[in-house]
Structure 1
Amino acid sequence: MATSPRYKKGNIQNTYGMIMATVAVALLLVVVLVRSFGLVQKRDQYQSRIETLQAQIDKEQKRSEEISEFETYTTTRKYIEQIAKEKLGLVYPGEIIFKDKGAGN
């Protein structure tokens, strides 16, 4: 049985179509791999940024707690007395103050 020229032409076209489809899929695969590599790098950058920002948040929360503690301390009588003595030089009646000779005061 002899093959017809029409059958050979269809077989060649079929082979050519398969090769083109394979090339298209390969190109698509390369594009997807390149894009995924870029996305992985971006994800790593964002993760690093998240860690940096979380460290800053923790630091600011600690600072906020310290400020809150200081605010509470500033309302105490002990703090008021300390500031009155240090800044204003006030003392209780009958209190004796000793000054260091080397202080220059």
Structure 2
Amino acid sequence: MFGISLIVLVLLLSLMVQSRDLKESLAGYETRAEALSQQLEEEQARTEEIKELKEYMQTDEYAEQAAREKLGLVKDNEIIFQEAN
């Protein structure tokens, strides 16, 4: 009877240790899942910004802005003022 009680006690202790380890692992996985969820939201927001920028880059307004900045082009009725050095 004592031997059986000892075996049951050892089994219960081992189950408690395994249960504690599983709870710690679960907490770690939950933390990682939250971090990945946050990262997913950030990437979706970034994807949306890129999509909006892509749509803007296909407009005439963007083409005009790029021509002004990179090529120095101006409209026919514009006057350019330069600072004297």
- Fold shared, TM-score > 0.5 on shorter chain: yes
Asked if residue 38 in structure 1 is aligned to residue 21 in structure 2, the reply is: yes
Instruction: Kindly report which structure 2 residues correspond to 1:29-68, keeping only aligned pairs within 5 A, or say none.
Output: 29-68=12-51
Asked if residue 69 in structure 1 is aligned to residue 69 in structure 2, the reply is: no
Unaligned runs of 5+ in 1: 1-17
- State the Cα deviation string for residues 14-54 of structure 1 (Å, max 9, x = none): xxxx1111111100000000000000000000111111111
Shift, 1:98, TM fit: 2.7
Question: What amino acid sits opposite 1:52 in the alignment?
Answer: A
Unaligned runs of 5+ in 2: none
Asked if residue 98 in structure 1 is aligned to residue 63 in structure 2, the reply is: no
Q: Percent identical across equivalent pairs? A: 41
Structure exhibiting the larger radius of gyration computed from Cα positions: 1
2:8 to 6, 18, 25: 25
CA RMSD of aligned residues (A): 1.4
Structure with more relative contact order (C-alpha pairs < 8 Å, separation 6 or more): 2
Say which SS state the counterpart of residue 71 (structure 2) adopts.
coil
- Paired residues in the alignment total 85
Say which SS state the counterpart of residue 74 (structure 2) adopts.
coil
Say which SS state the counterpart of residue 63 (structure 1) adopts.
helix
Q: TM-score, normalised by structure 2?
A: 0.93
